[in-house]
């Protein structure tokens, strides 16, 4: 007998057989379950991402936006990431995803995100189908829609890691996909897996996620990493956020409104030195030239805020500097040897978080 299990996520609400031992495929078009008795059930359903926070309890998991994750889900993911740090070749854990296939579909350039995802599944015994510059070297160049591309690739892979130039593209993909979609950045929208690794890094570096101050610096308008990070940090108590950005790339109003609705204390500040002396975490981002239509505005914004030796003198001894990378010139190379410069440690944490997410996604479906 089929019973309702009202579990919502990124475009899906599922009905499962109580004793299901077979496969569960989730899609915005319908839900199809195959049990060991061969019975099938189909239903249409859709609910907005983030309506339920029990992400880790869902049978099929998309990663679409940062608001999907509550504190309990974060604790589960972070505990899994800690276990991933101990995975060694030849062990049983290094074979847990044997036979599983990940497709990485990237319409925008990437180094850390694409390679860390591909490394993540190979560390766990899976394999990768990879397409970079998908807009140029896939059928998108012939006019194929994103939805049709996803409906095709889902036949070849057990999950799809998607980076796209349009905000909201990951949600569009999740609505039509029968396999988990992992948002690896959707234009100026969100980058939820980066937010998870950022929060994981903050906890490792300063030892807590409550009652600390963070300065978000740089391109806060187009920087999807800071958007997702702000959403995730809003669930923790006593977090004070400083926004330090040229006016042309100031933090988006909808995010400030959201933070206010959650009771988060935030402040827009012009003086980077002042913020550096007061925060526990200084989170730097580059000015994103590719998002500007007017290069004069880019020129005006670039170089206004730079973390150099003088800023590091203002930074507390127990504070850290993070950056999602790549950097251009917003952090001077001279800072790299300072033990408070944590951005390369942060990048390493991306591997463990993505191993944890891929494992959760593939073994949860």
Q: What is the set of active-site residues?
A: 112-113, 142, 163, 191
- In 94-191, alpha helices (H): 112-123, 134-137, 146-153, 169-176
The DSSP bridge pattern shows strands 159-164 and 240-244 to be unpaired
Angle at 230 between CA 229 and CA 236, to 5 degrees: 95
Whether the upstream peptide bond of residue 326 has omega within 30° of 0, thus cis, is yes
In angstroms, the CA 308 to CA 319 distance is 15
Angle at 163 between CA 298 and CA 173, to 5 degrees: 130
Identify whether the C-beta of residue 311 lies closer than 8 Å to the C-beta of residue 284.
no
For the chain, state the CA radius of gyration.
Answer: 21
Identify whether the C-beta of residue 25 lies closer than 8 Å to the C-beta of residue 31.
yes
Angle at 186 between CA 184 and CA 188, to 5 degrees: 125
Those residues with Cβ within 8 angstroms of residue 62's Cβ, 6 or more apart along the chain or in another chain: 9, 10, 11, 12, 26, 49, 170, 174, 177, 180, 181, 182, 361
- DSSP class of residue 73 equals H
Backbone dihedral region of 11: left (phi > 0), alpha (psi from -120 to 50 degrees) or beta? left
How far, rounded to the nearest angstrom, does the alpha carbon of residue 276 sit from its chain's CA centroid?
Answer: 26
Helix or strand holding residue 344 (H, E): helix 343-363
Number of neighbouring beta carbons within 10 Å of residue 213? 18
In angstroms, the CA 265 to CA 152 distance is 45
Identify whether the C-beta of residue 196 lies closer than 8 Å to the C-beta of residue 74.
yes
Identify whether the C-beta of residue 192 lies closer than 8 Å to the C-beta of residue 183.
yes
């Amino acid at each position: 007998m089929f019973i309702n299990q009202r579990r919502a996520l990124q475009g899906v609400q599922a009905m499962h057989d109580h004793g299901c031992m077979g496969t569960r495929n989730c899609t915005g078009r319908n839900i199809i379950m195959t049990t060991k008795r061969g019975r099938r059930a189909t239903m249409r359903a859709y609910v907005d991402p983030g309506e339920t926070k029990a992400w880790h309890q869902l049978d099929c998991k998309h990663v679409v936006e940062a608001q999907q994750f509550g504190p309990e889900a974060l604790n589960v993911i972070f505990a899994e990431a800690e276990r991933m740090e101990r995975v060694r070749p030849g062990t049983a854990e290094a074979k847990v995803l044997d036979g599983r296939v990940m497709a990485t579909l990237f319409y925008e350039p990437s180094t850390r995100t694409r390679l860390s995802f591909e490394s993540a599944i190979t560390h766990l015994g899976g394999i990768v189908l990879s397409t970079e510059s998908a807009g140029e070297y896939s059928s998108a160049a012939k006019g194929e829609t994103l939805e049709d591309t996803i409906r095709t690739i889902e036949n070849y892979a057990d999950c799809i890691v998607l980076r796209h130039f349009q905000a909201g593209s990951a949600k569009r993909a999740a609505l039509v996909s029968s396999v988990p979609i992992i948002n690896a950045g959707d234009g100026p929208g969100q980058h939820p897996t980066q937010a998870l690794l950022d929060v994981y890094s903050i906890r490792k570096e300063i030892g807590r996620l409550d009652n600390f101050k963070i300065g978000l610096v740089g391109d806060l308008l187009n920087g999807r990493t800071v958007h997702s990070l702000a959403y995730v940090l809003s669930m923790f108590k006593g977090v004070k956020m400083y926004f330090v950005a040229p006016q042309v790339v100031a933090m988006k109003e909808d995010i400030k409104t959201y933070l206010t609705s959650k009771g988060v204390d935030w402040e827009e500040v012009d003086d980077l030195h002042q913020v550096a002396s007061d925060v526990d975490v200084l989170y730097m981002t580059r000015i994103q030239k590719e998002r500007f239509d007017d290069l004069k505005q880019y020129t005006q914004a670039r170089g206004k805020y730079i973390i150099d030796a003088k800023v590091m003198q203002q930074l507390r001894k127990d504070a850290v500097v993070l950056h999602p990378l790549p950097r251009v010139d917003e952090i001077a190379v001279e800072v790299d040897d300072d033990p408070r410069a944590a951005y390369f440690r942060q990048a390493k944490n991306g591997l463990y978080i993505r191993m944890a997410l891929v494992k959760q996604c593939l073994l949860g479906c």
